[in-house]
Chains A and B, each alone.
Chain A
Amino acid sequence: MFNLAKGGNNLLSYIFVFMVVVSIICSFFTGSGEVLSQSMMDGASSAVELLFMMSGMMCLWSGVMEVARESKLTEKVSMLFAPLLRLLFKDAHKNEKAFSYICMNISANLLGLGNAATPLGINAMKEMNVGLGEDEVSDDMVTFVVMNTASLQLLPTTVAVLRSSYGCKTPFDIIFCVWITSVVALFVGLFFAKTMCRGKRI
Chain B
Amino acid sequence: MNYIMPCVFALIIVYGLIKKVKVFDVFVNGAKDGIKTMYNIAPTLIGLIVSVEMLKSSGALDMLCDFVSPVTQFLGFPKELLPLALLRPVSGGGSTALLTQTLKDNGPDSFVSRCACVIAGATETTFYAITVYFSAIKKTKIRHTLFASLMADFTAIVFSVLCVNLFF
Quote the shortest CB–CB distance from B56 to chain A (angstroms): 7
Is A48 on the interface with B (CB-CB < 8 A)?
yes
Residues from chain A with Cβ under 8 Å of B127 in the complex: 9, 11
Assess whether B121 is in contact with A182, with CB atoms less than 8 Å apart.
yes
Number of interface residues of B (CB under 8 A): 105
Report Cα–Cα, A58/B31, bound state, in Å: 8
For A4, give its contact among B12, B96, B133, B134 (CB under 8 Å). B96
Report Cα–Cα, A177/B159, bound state, in Å: 9
Report Cα–Cα, A66/B32, bound state, in Å: 10
Is A5 on the interface with B (CB-CB < 8 A)?
yes
Q: Which residue of B lies closest to A192 (CB)?
A: B148
Tally the A-B contacts, defined by beta carbons under 8 Å.
376
Q: Which residue of A lies closest to B91 (CB)?
A: A7
Is A80 on the interface with B (CB-CB < 8 A)?
no
Assess whether A16 is in contact with B144, with CB atoms less than 8 Å apart.
no
Assess whether B151 is in contact with A189, with CB atoms less than 8 Å apart.
yes
Number of interface residues of A (CB under 8 A): 108
Assess whether B38 is in contact with A149, with CB atoms less than 8 Å apart.
no
Report Cα–Cα, A189/B123, bound state, in Å: 11
7 additional contacts, CB 8 Å, given A3-B124, A63-B30?
A22-B55, A27-B57, A39-B50, A67-B13, A137-B139, A150-B156, A174-B164
Chain B positions near chain A (C-beta within 8 angstroms): 1-2, 4-5, 8-9, 12-13, 15-16, 18-19, 21, 23, 26-35, 37-38, 40-42, 44-60, 63, 87, 89-94, 96-97, 99-100, 103-104, 107-109, 113-114, 117-134, 136-137, 139-145, 147-149, 151-153, 155-156, 159-160, 163-164, 167
Chain A positions near chain B (C-beta within 8 angstroms): 1-9, 11-12, 15-16, 19-20, 22-24, 26-27, 30, 32, 35-36, 38-40, 42-44, 46-48, 50-51, 54-55, 58-73, 115, 118, 121-122, 125-126, 129, 135, 137, 141-142, 144-146, 148-151, 153, 155-156, 158-160, 162-164, 166-178, 180-182, 184-186, 188-193, 196-197, 202
